[in-house]
Amino acid sequence: MLDESILGQAGLAVERIYEDAAIAAFGVADSFKGPHEARPWPAWFRDTVERLTKLPSETFEPVWREPITPSWFGMLASKAAAANRGEADAIEALDRHIAQFALFAEGFRRAGADLPPTPGPVAFDRDVLIPGTTLGLPAGKPIGPSAELYEVDVAAWKQARLRLAPEAIDAPWEPFAPVANARGFKDGKGPAATASVTAMLQAIDRYLPEAFDRFAGDISVIGLLDSGQAGVFNASNSTYFGGFIVAAVGEPHELAAYALHEHAHNLLFAIETVEPVLAGEQGDYEGPLIYSPWRHDLRPMRGLVHAVFVHLPVSAFWLSVLREPATEELEAYARDQLTRFLIQTDVGLDIIDRHASLTENGTRIMSAVKREAARLRALALDAGLDADRPGLVCYQGVFQPEQRAGHPITLRESLIAHAEAVGAPEMAFTMVRQWPHRPAAT
């Protein structure tokens, strides 16, 4: 599990991020009292925000605390600044962006707020989620009192309620653009996809209950991808807190591992937004690209730090599954995943030690990461992990042998093949070959 000090830092960071979004909203609204106040959309936005300041927190917070809020209001501030500088086409771009606030306004209205009507019709080129609700607006349909809204799919377990819906309206990076609500899955697979997310929540609650409580409080939206389609991937975004994209694989434990992985990305992104972990160019995804034992391409240092960080809760999950597996097949897969991730984490930490430029905050976080990795490693070795067992993969929700050139391979052979394909440093090969023994320090 992640260290309590890290979880606390992440929680404070998220609060700061939403406070900054509110400051941006009110600051932009104030700026419209000057050169833009005669134009319909800025005037409407200013009047709407002024009314929002009078709302009680129980009405304001559920709508405001949407994953899309920080990035959308950050872009609003940037577009307003460009318009104030007189940049070409900036006023039109600002008006288009402000018009999207109609979604937030609709959420506040449904929470009981009395807000002015929009200056004109607003529609979107894909389905979008009404903030603070479980309602979706179909693509091309105008928002308003007579909008043709629908109930999005919701996966619920105990206090967790995950809306399975797209939420991209205007963001600097739009991974949610191709995401369909589960109702849009082909061949009637939507209900099964929703059921698989509910089973995922149950798996997290059973095997890692302390993580479930935090997950349920942090994550509110999942963009669900049909795992049977080409180009499916899992992803989080550094400006999108409280949601992620995930492939709707049918095996709930594999899906739980994906979800814990993306949740941890959310936490570290929040921390980095307020207080960087890496110094200089490494903190901006710049600098030399390096080997990552999880990826098939070279990565910036920040990507490797994220990879090591997010695999801690995933490893803790598989360790718990290994101790109480539901089936023999699940036990074998949990053993594979735990062994694989611990070896990869050892390699990743060694590369970070050698090449990372950590800030003071980064040093604290990586010290906690090393302690947790060592704890998990000790517990896992007591369970008799073996890197020379046949490797396993989960494909389309089914556990099956890992193969190379049509022949089964061991987990160790799999990791060595990966290192060869990507061009790993020699120390990575040595660590994989000698694991669980540690090579002599150099």
Residue 23's identity, in one-letter code, is I
Q: How far apart are CA 267 and CA 308, in angstroms?
A: 13
CA distances from 392 to 138, 339, 395, 403 (A): 41, 11, 10, 9
Q: Can you give the pLDDT at residue 369?
A: 97
Coil, strand or helix: which one is 230? Answer: coil
Edge-first strand listing for the sheet containing 135-137? 128-129, 135-137, 150-151
Q: Can you give the pLDDT at residue 298?
A: 95
Residue 105's CB: how many other CB atoms inside 10 A? 25
pLDDT tens, residue by residue, 38-51 = 889 999 999 999 99
CB of 415 closer than 8 Å to CB of 389: no
CA distances from 263 to 87, 101, 227, 242, 301 (A): 38, 27, 19, 8, 20
- Residue 310: name the closest of 345, 285, 336 by CA: 345
Confidence (pTM) = 0.94
Helix (DSSP H) and strand (DSSP E) numbers for the chain? 14, 12
Coil, strand or helix: which one is 5? Answer: helix
End-to-end CA distance of the chain: 30
Q: Can you give the pLDDT at residue 230?
A: 56
Residue 64's identity, in one-letter code, is W
Angle (CA) 247-248-249 rounded to 5° is 95
Q: How far apart are CA 239 and CA 191, in angstroms?
A: 30
Q: Which residues of the chain have pLDDT under 50?
A: 168-182
CB proximity list for 57: less than 8 A, separation 6 or greater: none
- Residue 221: name the closest of 154, 272, 149 by CA: 154
342 Rama sector, left if φ>0, alpha if ψ -120 to 50, beta otherwise: alpha
